[in-house]
Amino acid sequence: MADKKLVEQITSMDVDFAQWYTDVCSKAELMSYSSVKGCMIIKPDGYAIWENIQNELDRRFKATGVRNVYMPMFIPESLLNKEKDHVEGFAPEVAWVTHGGLNELPERLCVRPTSETLFCDFYKDDIKSYRDLPKVYNQWCSVVRWEKETRPFLRSREFLWQEGHTAHATAEEAEERTVQMLNVYADFAEEFLAIPVIRGQKTEKERFAGAKATYTIEALMHDGKALQAGTSHNFGDGFAKAFEVQFTDKDNKLKYVHQTSWGVTTRLIGAIIMVHGDNSGLVLPPRVAPVQVCIVPIRQQDPTVLPAANELADALKAAGVRVKIDDSDKSPGWKFAEQEMRGIPLRLEIGPKDIQNGQCVLARRDNHEKCTVALTDVATAVPALLETIQNDMLERARTHRDAHTTIATTYEEFKDAVENKPGFVKAMWCEDRACEDKIKEETGATSRCMPFAQEEISDKCVCCGKPAKKLVIWGRAY
């Protein structure tokens, strides 16, 4: 009964998806609530996932020439005010520091919601000549945005992220870098997190405050809601003009730099939970899982069992597998339920009978399938099975997304799809802001992106019937 009770603590996702999500976050011990409303404590199991995300992304960034820096967390108010659109976009969410100790500060300091202004202030002194370009920098840090509605990992008042900030000599170079980083995110999401994404451009209404163009990767969660999983912005020379970031070019003329900015956050952990999780808890793709295999000794009081388990653990570690042995005094049933709750991709069961037969049992977390493997083959069978699980999870998520993508050519079809078929809706748009506003007001769906892979499913705007210019992916979103 004990193991059954553990799983019963999770609300079924079909009953209340939001409560299921919250249950998984806390019961799988990814986070806990802090005494500051809207902020969370990321516990070791949650932070270990973020470390794996960070390490893999950092490796991919550096392969494209990115170097890491660190900027201060405080921004003087006068600096923030230099780019009008940017400050207006962030004003409602800014947290202010007004005192240093007991003394009132001569100028308010903003706790960074994002660092464009800091990088621009730095670049204006650091960049003098075309020889100083490009600057391809990134920082790993936390930012603060005073959100009204918060939810673990998806939206909190302080969250961890990386923000890339680059400066280039030409508009073409900046655009190339913007798209390049968006593709780094998309490849990472699919290859490492097993999350299929749609790559595209945000509409003018949805683009980042102060940007010339915003590109995004959009993912579909299990409940049919969209999640913006990463963005990359082309700033053109707007910020450079506001902050006087100039350089002397090869032709000896003074020119403004062209800038980009791109980021992903700890909301990726929320995406992993909502794309792959089930009613037993978390389901982690092997590549991002901090522990890939949990060895559960059966009848561990038998003197042969723990030595055999340790031998298997050593062989797996030597094969590059992240492994742990649960040799606690809990019952095997409780251990199984706990391993499921925590989303560990593979469970390895070994007991006296298995040792006599020269084999062990492997149980997959993603589909609950079991198989027996010879002990001599474990070091090769397990890495191969982990790869299979990774690929199967991506395909399963892609199948789910495609099955929950509806095509709408009339406004009636569109409204019906948003209301009754949770997921993405593909529909044509005339590029008129009034139609986009009307759709959001009447259906609650927003434009997620204009996908790079454009199709013409109709020649008329789904909302007004005028000639269509773009295919847009729409959906209700987190």
392-431 residue pLDDT tens: 999 999 999 999 999 999 999 999 999 999 999 999 999 9
d(CA 274, CA 259): 34
d(CA 262, CA 61): 11
Mean pLDDT in the chain?
96
- Going by pLDDT thresholds of 50, 70 and 90, the confidence category of residue 84 is confident
State the pTM of this model: 0.96
Query: Which among 152, 184, 370, 159 has a CA at the least distance from the CA of 282?
Result: 152
What local confidence, expressed as pLDDT, does residue 8 receive? 58
Give all domains of the chain, ordered by start, each with its CATH number: 2-276 (3.30.930.10), 293-388 (3.40.50.800), 405-475 (3.30.110.30)
Give φ, ψ of 152 to 5 degrees.
-50, 130
- Other Cβ atoms less than 10 A from the Cβ of 77: the count is 14
Q: At what angle do helices 44-63 and 171-191 cross, to 10 degrees?
A: 140
C-alpha torsion angle, residues 147, 149, 151, 156 (rounded to 10): 10
What local confidence, expressed as pLDDT, does residue 1 receive? 38
Query: Which among 416, 77, 85, 19 has a CA at the least distance from the CA of 239?
Result: 85
Classify 153 in phi/psi space as left (phi over 0), alpha (psi -120 to 50) or beta: left
Which of 3-17, 315-329, 426-440 bottoms out in mean pLDDT, i.e. has the lowest? 3-17
Beta bridge partners of 231: 216, 263
Element (H, E) at 226: strand 226-236
Q: In the chain, what percentage of residues exceed pLDDT 90?
A: 95
**Residue entry with tokens 């199709």:** 455
- Other Cβ atoms less than 10 A from the Cβ of 453: the count is 8
Query: Which among 53, 35, 33 has a CA at the least distance from the CA of 43?
Result: 33
- Going by pLDDT thresholds of 50, 70 and 90, the confidence category of residue 9 is confident
d(CA 155, CA 38): 8
Query: How far, in Å, are 197, 316, 390, 436 from residue 415 at the CA level?
Result: 24, 52, 36, 13
Is the CB of residue 40 less than 8 Å from the CB of residue 33? yes
* Average pLDDT score over residue span 134-141: 98
C-alpha torsion angle, residues 90, 92, 95, 98 (rounded to 10): 110
